[in-house]
Every structure is written in C-alpha cells, then in structure tokens.
Amino acid sequence: MTAQAHIKNKSLITQLFMSDKGSQIFFALLMTMTIVVPILHLAVPADSALHVSAYTLTLLGKYLSFALLAIALDLVWGYCGILSLGHAAFFALGGYAMGMYLMRQIADRGVYGNPELPDFMVFLDWQELPWFWYGFDQFWFAMLMVILVPGLLAYIFGWLAFRSRVTGVYLSIITQALTYALMLAFFRNEMGFGGNNGLTDFKDILGYNLQDDSTRVALFLASAIMLIIGYTVAKFIINSKLGRVTVAIRDAEDRARFVGYKVENYKLWVFTFSAVLAGIAGALYVPQVGIINPGEFSPLNSIELVVWVAVGGRGYLYGAVLGAFIVNFAKTYFTAVLPEVWLFALGGLFIFVTIFMPQGIVGLIAKLTSKKNPSSSPPIENQFSEQKPWKSKADA
C-alpha cells in the first residue's frame, strides 16, 4: 500500500465543493434555489401553481440569513468545541447596525417628520443625534459596523475568556450572560436604540423601496450569495491546516497545547470570525423582516440556534444549514397552524435529538451509509485495550 494515497493534490475548487457527496448535493441545491426561486417569483404569473409569492420569497430569504448564522455557530461549536449560547447577540448587533442605517434612510418621512432624528428620539424629546449614530446614514459605514461591532465584541470577550481558559459549561454560561446583559441594556430607552420597540418602519435601502418586488428579490439574492460566500470561506478554513488544528483543539485541547499550539489564539480567531458571520447574517435579516428589537438578544434565541445546528448535524457545515431550514420551516408551520403545539414540538425535538441523534440528521445519514458501504475502513478490533498483562511491581 502506498503511503502517498492520503495526500490531496486536488484543486482548491474541488476541495471546497466536491470533496464529499454531501457537499456536492448541498451546493447543487443551494445554487438551484438561488437561481430558480427569483425566476419563479418574477417570471411565473401569480395564478400559476409554480409561482413563488413575495411572502415565500422573503421567508426563504430569512431562512438563508438564519442558515448563515447556523454556519457561524457550527464553526465554533461543531469544529472548535465552543458552545456559545450568545451567538444571537452578534446576530442582533449586526442587525442593529443595519437597522440604524435603515432608520437614517427614513429621514423626514417619519411620523414626526424630523429630518435629523428618528421618531423614537423625537418621542423621547431628544434634541440631537447621539454620537454613536453618526455615520450610519452612509451605507458603507453601516456595513463596516456590521462587521466591526460583533467582531470587536467577540474579540474582546474571547480574549478575556480564552486567555484565562474559561471552557465548556462556564463559557456557555457567560456567553449567555453576555447576551442577557445586552438584551437588558437594549431594552433601556436611554441606550438610544429605540428601547422596547427597537427599530422599525423602514422605508428604503440604497434608495430602493423595501416593499418593491425587485428589492425583495435583490435581498433574497444577497442573502443567498452571502450564504455561498460564508459557506465557502468556512469550508476553506475547515479544509486548511487551521481547520484540523481547531478540530484537534475540540477533541484534545491539552494535547494541542503540548504539541505547541497557542490554543487561546486559535479559539479567539475562530470565535471572532464566527461572530462576524453572525453579524452579517443579522444585517441580511433585518431589511427582510422589517424590524429589529431587543428580543433578538434573548437567550432563548441563542439556544434555538444551537438546536438548529444540533438537529442538522454539528460538525457538518451543510448540516447546520439543513437544520436551520428544517427547524424554521417547522416553526413557521406550527406557529401558524397549531401555536400551542409549537413549544411542545420544539421541546420534544431538543430532547429527541440530544438522546437519539447526537450527530444530527446528517450524522445519522453518514452513519447509515457507511454501514451499507463496507469499502470504507473498518475499525480495528481493540484487542489490547485497557489491559496491562504483565505488571511486575513485586520485582521492586
């Protein structure tokens, strides 16, 4: 047997998208959806059965932003073993940055018609724009903040946490505390982010009316393209040596350290990158749903996000996307048809998945197919394990 067999000499593209069957199928589906859904919406007449309504289009766009968020979490949880219960915070911060831009775009079309101040500030009797709202009338600045604010928060938080080796449960709990504290803060009117009601009543983005069909299609496409880019970058990281190091840290943190990796730095960068992805997802989400409020920071949202990834299959990027789609579709369906059942169903799903499908749907499929397919390497029998046949303490 030649030992060279393992060495991958494939092109980058093949490595990223064609490395396994799951990735191939996922990528094909995603591409098809990106192209077909807008066509079905714009070109197919409304009375046709194939027509995709504006509602469905926006709903799918929302799911796409959730999928990007799920990828962000999967990167830290599935590949680096950091269970963040605060990723909704980064999502919401990105959303707020976008919301602030959209708020400034309203200009004097608000209820109070004040060209400088958003309605809620006029209502609170504020005289001038707070300093942290400066610049948000510029799209590029808002987009910069979408990346910088979550990234910086994650960097500072991670720098503190990983350096002092806060791991496992402790980390989960303080990330939860982080998002909870932010939620409480954003609920305060004094913070200057619209308090309880958040930011809403958006009119247009980059001069295009948010209610227009074409704008909706553009937002859908933007979400799909960002998901593809996010997926590609995440896949690139995972396939690189850096990806192997993060998995190594997930599985045997001490070993990684003693081999010479500065574990806290690796965790920090993965965490920060993940937060940036989450922020971008939030920024895509807000113009499509038309509102952002402090409820988005709620710890419940972060945990729900964990469930998407758990259901889809953590440690598989497309698993995270799949989970985001399935759980959110179920949520949309149940809350419309049987609202009382939704929490029972969601709760039951948590329990079922953790006990019976620890690797999620994709993990389950992978397990089933590998059983059918004997060509993949079978595990060697553990005949020597746990035995110390000759131990001669008595010699001493």
Partner 1 sequence: MPSKSKFKEVMRRDRVFDFMVPGGRHAVIAKQLDISHDIVLYVEGISVSFDGFKALNDLNLYINNGELRCIIGPNGAGKTTMMDVITGKTKPDAGTAFFGQTMDLTAMSEYEIAAAGIGRKFQKPTIFPEHTVFENLELAMHCDKRVWTTLFARLSSAQQDRILEIVDTIMLAAQINLQAKNLSHGQKQWLEIGMLLMQNPQLLLVDEPIAGMTQQETERTAELLTSLAGQHSVVVVEHDMEFVRSIAKTVTVLHEGHVLAEGSMDEVQNNQQVIEVYLGE
Partner 2 sequence: MAKKYLMNSKQKSFIHFLMILFLGMIFVSPGLANTISDADFRDSLSALNQKKFTQKIQAIEKLAEFDHGKTRFVMQSLLDGNLFYRKSDKNIFIAEKTDTELVLKDVISLEVIDIVGKRDARKISVNNKIRKLLRLKISAMSLSHSDPKVRHAAVKEMMKKPALETSNILRQYVASENDETVKNTLRVAIALYDVKSDDKSIKLAALDILGESSSLESKYAVLAVLEKDSQASYIEQDQEIIQHAKKILDSIETQLKFYGFLETLFFGLSLGSVLLLAAIGLAITFGVMGVINMAHGELIMLGAYTTYVIQLLMPNNIEYSVLVAIPAAFLVAGIVGIMIERGILQFLYGRPLETLLATFGVSLVLQQLVRSVFSPLNRSVETPEWMSGAWQINSTLAITFNRLYILLFCIFVFIMLLLILKKTALGLYIRAVSQNRQMAKAMGVRSEWVDALTFGLGSGIAGVAGVALSQLTNVGPNMGQAYIIDSFMVVVFGGVGNLWGTFIGAMSLGVVNKFLEPWSGAVLAKILILVFIILFIQKRPRGLFPQKGRSAEN
CB of 286 to partner 2, least distance (A): 24
Q: Is 13 in the site for partner 1 (CB under 8 A)?
A: no
- Residue 13 interacts, among partner 2, partner 1, none and using kind-specific CB cut-offs from 5 to 8 Å, with none
| Euclidean distance between CA atoms 358 and 319, whole angstroms | 13
List, in order, residues 6 or more apart from 123 with CB less than 8 Å away.
112
Give the interface segment with partner 1, choosing from 196-204, 218-226, 235-243, 303-311 (CB under 8 A).
235-243
Written as six digits, the tokens of 280 are 């971008």
**DSSP output for 46-65:** TTSTTPPPHHHHHHHHHHHH
Q: Count CA within 13 A, CB hemisphere, residue 90.
A: 34
By beta-carbon proximity to partner 1, the closer residue of 96 and 269 is 269
| Euclidean distance between CA atoms 111 and 197, whole angstroms | 15
CB of 304 to partner 2, least distance (A): 9
Instruction: Return residues touching partner 2 (CB under 8 A).
Output: 83, 157, 160-161, 163-170, 172-174, 176-178, 180-181, 184-185, 187-188, 299-300, 303, 306-307, 310, 340, 343-344, 346-351, 353-355, 358
Query: Nearest CA to 313 among 305, 322, 304?
Result: 322
Contact 146, 279 (CB under 8 A): yes
Residue 96 to residues 157, 186, 218, 279, 337, Cα–Cα distance (Å): 19, 10, 20, 9, 31
What single letter denotes the amino acid at residue 191? M
CB of 11 to partner 1, least distance (A): 13
Per CB under 8 A, contacts with partner 1 among 355-384 are 377, 379-384
Q: Is 255 in the site for partner 1 (CB under 8 A)?
A: yes
CB of 244 to partner 1, least distance (A): 6
- Residue 18 interacts, among partner 1, partner 2, none and using kind-specific CB cut-offs from 5 to 8 Å, with none
- DSSP letter, residue 125: T
Q: Which residues of this protein are in contact with partner 1, per CB under 8 A?
A: 1, 3, 5-7, 237, 240-242, 244-245, 247-248, 251-252, 254-263, 265-266, 269, 377, 379-388, 390-393, 395-396
